[in-house]
Every structure is written in structure tokens, then in C-alpha cells.
Amino acid sequence: MSDKQIEILTGIMMGDGTLNRRNNTPTVEVKCINNEYLDYLDNIFGIFSNGVSFYMSGRESCKQAVDSGLAEDAEISNYSDVYRWMTINHTNLYMFDWYTGEKGEKVWPEDIDLTPTVLKHWYVGDGNYRGGGSRCTIRISAANERGNEEKISSYFKRAGLPKPSRFDHSRGLTIVFNKEESKQLFEYMGESVPGFERKWPSKSGDDDE
């Protein structure tokens, strides 16, 4: 795989990606409602892609949320169909076996190189912004990394980026950047990936999320 493909997978694994280890050789997979983004990944990975497929209907997703206790009074209208993209089985993907937590949860390695591509694909998976234009502030969820704030700050420091202005512990862990720091991060990441334009402030500065 190319350096760019490895960087994309690194960002994906920092976010919603999972390593499927059921077979002898692992695959990386992403489940989401954004089919446009998954088609983009399918195109970028070419022969290393196993394609995009339908995974779960909005109705099934709603039922799963209720059954798991995540949403007792969930409404079907609030849920969309879910799709899945997967790589082929590949030995290179052993590098993403990050499931080293006490309960088998994913824990990020200490030596992640936060390139623009890595940060961009991590952000689209677990990030969002509030406000618009010069007022926007980036927030990125990192629930499994609570207690590892120093490690996270080191990623940004090594990349020459501002460290998070604060860490919000009200729901697991959320990494928060102020408006000036967020501006630098958007400039560093560059243009959005297909399907996630809404996670970038418009150039007119009049958007609000």
C-alpha cells in the first residue's frame, strides 16, 4: 500500500474504523451513513479495496440503539441506512492491531505521525465544529483515550500544530480547540473529502453548525 493509503487508514482507525481479525489476515472496515465518502475510499484504494456494501437499514439501526440501551425512545425517522467499506485482507494491516486496552478496546500508539491526511480522516470520523467562519471551534471525540491527554497533545506538538486548548471530560473525552487553533487546523488539513463538506466552514463565513 502507498504512504497515502496508510495515512488514510491511520486516520480512519483513530476514528470509526475497526480492524477485522476474524480471518487469518486482517481487514480494515468503516461503517457509516455517508455513502459518498465510502465510494471515495473505494476509488482511492483500488485493488486494495473490497468495495462498498449495504450493511443495515435505518429501521434496524434504530432497533439496535433501543436494544442496546443507547436510546430508549429512538424514532426511526432519526436513523439512516448504514453502509460498509472494507479493504481486502492484507498483511500490512497488522500494524493497526491497536486493541491493547484492558477490556480489548482500541488504544492509539504513541508514535502516530499526525500528517494532514491522517488528521483529516480522523476529523471526518469523530470531529465537528461549532460556529462559523472565524468563530468556528473544532471538537474531536476520543472516548477511549481518556487519561492519555498528554499523548494526544504530543501528536499535535510534533506536527507543529497548536495543542488542544482544553479537554472536555463530560462525555468520555473530547478534544477542543479555540477559534484561532481551529483555523490553523483547517488550513493544515486543506480541502474536505467528498461527502463531508458540511464539516468544513464555508468560505463565506456565514455557516453555523
User: What radius of gyration do the chain's Cα atoms show?
Assistant: 17
Evaluate whether 199 touches 128 at the Cβ level (below 8 Å): yes
Helix axes 3-14, 35-45, angle to 10 degrees: 150
Q: Calculate what percentage of the chain has a pLDDT beyond 70.
A: 89
Q: Mean pLDDT score of the chain, rounded to an integer?
A: 89
Burial of residue 96 (number of CB atoms within 10 Å: 0-12, 13-18, 19+): buried
pLDDT value, residue 40: 98
Question: Which secondary structure element, helix H or strand E, spans residue 205, and what is its range?
Answer: none
C-alpha 46/C-alpha 60 separation (Å) is 30
Can you list the domains of the chain with their CATH numbers? 3-96 (3.10.28.10), 116-199 (3.10.28.10)
pLDDT value, residue 74: 65
pTM: 0.88
C-alpha 18/C-alpha 34 separation (Å) is 17
Burial of residue 95 (number of CB atoms within 10 Å: 0-12, 13-18, 19+): middle
C-alpha 69/C-alpha 63 separation (Å) is 10
Q: pLDDT grade, residue 69 (50/70/90)?
A: low
pLDDT value, residue 204: 47
